[in-house]
Structure 1
Amino acid sequence: MACGSCSNPNQLASDTLSRHHARVKLGILSDSHGRHERTHKAVQLLLANGANELAHCGDIETERVIDQFAGIQTHLVFGNCDPDWRALSRYALGLGVLVQHPLARFVCGGRTFAMTHGHDSDCVAAALHEGVNYLLHGHTHICRDEHHGATRIINPGALHRASEFTVALLDTDTDELQFWVVA
């Protein structure tokens, strides 16, 4: 069974790759569950520590969470707790937030990324099959940093329903990953 947007899972345009070789510090968030104030703190923490691009792995739930990404280069997917994802998608696109759902593919700093919420095993399998450099996901509310073949799998943790609220910061030039606690 194929993931909803995975009709051609091996397609990452080479012209897209060539345009995105600048150094990027990617701030990674997930599972805001409508907590816009905590999401704001998380975004500010990531920006203060050098993030120049963001990725949110889903379970957003409200427009007020999406508002936190206005004016910031942000990639977004939705999760299993985003039942009205079509309306949220229209809202995000109106703010200039990049939405691909249920499986995002993008390039940062010359590295290939796939991002999904994590609740759809077909999307996870499709992303791993592509052989991207990084697979980002949320859903479990647990930080994760491990490899599956050549793909590094990262879960930043969660901004709600977790023992600690966490985000991650990835330097695409050095491959350094840091997890940050959002107070």
Structure 2
Amino acid sequence: MKIGILSDSHTKSDYTELAINHLKQKGANYLIHAGDLCIEDNLKLLQNSKLVYVTVFGNNDRSLLSLSNEYNIQKEPYYFKIKDIKFKLMHLPYYLNADSDIVIFGHTHKFECSYNNGTLFINPGEICAREKPLIECALLEINKNEYIITYYYKDINTNNFMKEEFRYER
């Protein structure tokens, strides 16, 4: 199972579309967005990806509240399962405790991943290239005994994504 993870698109729907297409090309079966979509166009991109997706409201998503019935956008922290894996999804990193198998968050605009006491924590970085000139996202591959996180990043002035890989035994 492969899950594309994004966060902090802000108003950059062109960058969001680029990242979604890249993650789909790399085999993503699901998309998870950790909030701060800011505009409906970013929600439409998730919906039009034809993948199962979920997202949460970020601190800049007040204008999207009225759209919660049209899109799969939830209040944080949002708990859900994919197959037998428990996820917790949030934008603000206020609930970073090990009460799920995988905790996904955004807001800081910095990629990070760690595996502590049986819980995988992932922040995919930023789509919007606001803090640095990088479009960032992650692909989580879940195997029977291993998590593989591939961090993708692309300078806004180049054509190709670069990558770094992190592996953790489950």
* TM-score computed with the length of structure 2 as normaliser: 0.81
Q: Which residue, 100, 124, 131 being the options, matches 1:162?
A: 131
In the alignment, structure 1 residue 134 sits paired with structure 2 residue 108 = no
Shift of 1:28: 0.1
CA distance in 2 between partners of 1:129 and 1:48 (Å): 31
Q: Which residue, 176, 179, 182 being the options, matches 2:148?
A: 176
Please say if residues 108 and 172 of structure 1, whose CA atoms lie closer than 8 Å, have aligned partners that are also in contact: no
Please say if residues 59 and 92 of structure 2, whose CA atoms lie closer than 8 Å, have aligned partners that are also in contact: no
- Residues 62-77 of structure 1 correspond to what in structure 2 (within 5 A)? 62-70=39-47, 71-77=50-56
Unaligned 5+ residue runs, structure 1? 1-23, 93-97
In the TM superposition, structure 1's runs of 4+ consecutive aligned residues that sit over 3 Å from their partners are: none
**Greater relative CO (CA pairs within 8 A, separation 6+):** 1
Please say if residues 98 and 117 of structure 2, whose CA atoms lie closer than 8 Å, have aligned partners that are also in contact: no
Unaligned 5+ residue runs, structure 2? 157-170
Amino acid at match of 2:139: L
Shift of 1:129: 5.0
CA distance in 2 between partners of 1:83 and 1:115 (Å): 18
Aligned counterpart, 1:116 = 90
Q: Matched residue of 1:159: which SS?
A: coil
CA distance in 1 between partners of 2:68 and 2:35 (Å): 11
In the alignment, structure 1 residue 87 sits paired with structure 2 residue 59 = no
Amino acid at match of 2:11: G
Q: Percent identity?
A: 29
Please say if residues 77 and 88 of structure 2, whose CA atoms lie closer than 8 Å, have aligned partners that are also in contact: yes
* RMSD of aligned residue pairs (Cα, Å): 1.6
CA distance in 1 between partners of 2:153 and 2:67 (Å): 27
CA distance in 2 between partners of 1:81 and 1:88 (Å): 14
CA distance in 2 between partners of 1:134 and 1:86 (Å): 26
Q: How many residues are matched? A: 149
CA distance in 2 between partners of 1:141 and 1:57 (Å): 11
* TM-score computed with the length of structure 1 as normaliser: 0.76
In the TM superposition, what whole-angstrom CA distance separates every residue of 1:151-175 from its partner, at most 9, and x where no partner exists?
1110000011132221000011141
CA distance in 2 between partners of 1:78 and 1:151 (Å): 23
Aligned counterpart, 2:27 = 50
Higher strand share: 2
Shift of 1:147: 2.8
Amino acid at match of 2:17: H
Q: Matched residue of 2:61: which SS?
A: coil
Q: Matched residue of 2:109: which SS?
A: coil
In the TM superposition, what whole-angstrom CA distance separates every residue of 1:34-55 from its partner, at most 9, and x where no partner exists?
2111100000000000001000
